[in-house]
Amino acid sequence: MSLSTPWPSLDWQAPWFAPWRGIGEPALAALAGGASVPDAMNAVAPAGVPRFVSPDALPPDQAYESFVHDSRSVPSRDNLHDCFNAIVWCLYPDTKRQLNRWQAAAIARDGIAGRRGPLRDAITLFDENGAVFSAPPVLLDALRSRDWRALFITHRQAWQQARLWLFGHALVEKLAAPRKDITAHVLCAQQGLADIAQTDAWLLSTLDETLLSAKPFSPLPVLGVPGWWPVQDEAFYDDAKVFRPARPANFSPYDGSHPQPSQGSIKTTTPANLRNGAA
């Protein structure tokens, strides 16, 4: 039971939480009433989603991803991070299964010692902090080039045809206490993904191991999305500590002549106390 866990009161009308409300609001209400994360999430999960189980179900000698794949169950602690991970399983079941299949296969092939490798590293990054930006080409081009003025000011009207679909559970967890520098690792998609189900189908049909291993992500400070922050004037977007310019094309951070690159506002959260990778 999670009787001692202080569960936050979330604003489900916030634009980042609203698409998750149907699953998330009743789950958080159950948690506030004393249910565990596995019990609360199993009560609201749609058919076909893996069972959520106590973290004690994970054998000490088995990788987390392998256990999820083999048992079709997801060890979940009584915290907001694992609750949001469970919600993602409910909203994006096909993509989560595919990412887990690739992780489990990589572990079976390479083991868990040493570095994760490019594929597992990219999966962890997207699983924790990813989002999908479905938008007209003019916005996608501006994002890829980090032309923040074009993205948020010059072509602001084009956002009426754009949607940002959040996927990473650590990303959404951070938005429980929103701050300006929260930044997603974004995959760019064609215009017209109208809901999460379509986004799940797009991810399943688009992603492959080669594409993911290349980390085709663009950084997007999510509270720059029109309407996601109370005051979004030019001074807001001129903050170069958050809306960072693109590096020069010839920038090579590892050639010894430049400082080691900083992830800056792109923050990644690794699940604590769960072994070997993404939650």
Whether residue 251 has pLDDT greater than 80: no
Interval 240-264 mean pLDDT:
56
219 strand-pairing partners: 185
Q: Which of 272, 265, 222 is nearest to 81 (CA)?
A: 272
pLDDT for 75 beyond 70: yes
Q: Is the pLDDT of residue 262 over 50?
A: no
For the chain, the average pLDDT equals 89
Question: Average of pLDDT values for 230-252?
Answer: 84
**229 CB-near residues (< 8 Å, 6+ apart):** 178, 180, 223, 236
Average pLDDT of span 162-182: 97
Q: Say how many domains are in the chain.
A: 2
Average pLDDT of span 115-143? 96
Q: What pLDDT shows up at residue 108? A: 94
137 lies in some domain: yes
Say what the pLDDT of residue 270 is. 32
Pairwise CA distance, residues 60 & 275, whole Å:
9
Q: Is residue 262 part of a domain?
A: no
**119 assigned to some structural domain:** no
Domain extent for 41: 18-91
pTM of the shown model: 0.87
Question: Are 278 and 103 within 8 A, CB to CB?
Answer: yes
Same domain, 171 and 230: yes
pLDDT of residue 268: 31
Question: 157 falls in which pLDDT band (50, 70, 90)?
Answer: very high
Q: Characterize 84-95 residue by residue with b for buried, 16 or more Cβ atoms within 10 angstroms of its Cβ, and e for exposed.
A: bbbbbbbbbbeb
Looking at residues 243-270, what average pLDDT do you find? 46
pLDDT exceeds cutoff 60 at 276: no
Sign for the CA dihedral angle at 205, 277, 74, 37 comes to negative
Same domain (yes/no): 84, 153: no
> How much is the average pLDDT of 32-53?
97
Mean pLDDT, rounded, for 169-190: 97
Lowest mean pLDDT among 102-111, 113-122, 162-171: 113-122
Q: What is the mean pLDDT of residues 21-30?
A: 97
Residue 245 lies in a domain: no
Is 144 part of any domain?
Answer: yes
Whether residue 165 is found in the same domain as residue 84: no
Task: With respect to residue 11, please indicate whether it lies within any of the assigned structural domains.
Answer: no
Q: What percent of the chain has pLDDT over 90?
A: 82
Q: Are residues 71 and 130 in the same domain?
A: no
pLDDT recorded at residue 277: 38
Give residue 248's pLDDT.
Answer: 66
130 in helix, strand or coil?
strand
Share in percent of the chain as helix, strand, coil (round to 5) = 45, 10, 45
Residues 6+ apart with CB under 8 A from 63: 107, 112, 275, 276, 277
Residue 87 sits in the same domain as residue 134: no
Residue 177 lies in a domain: yes
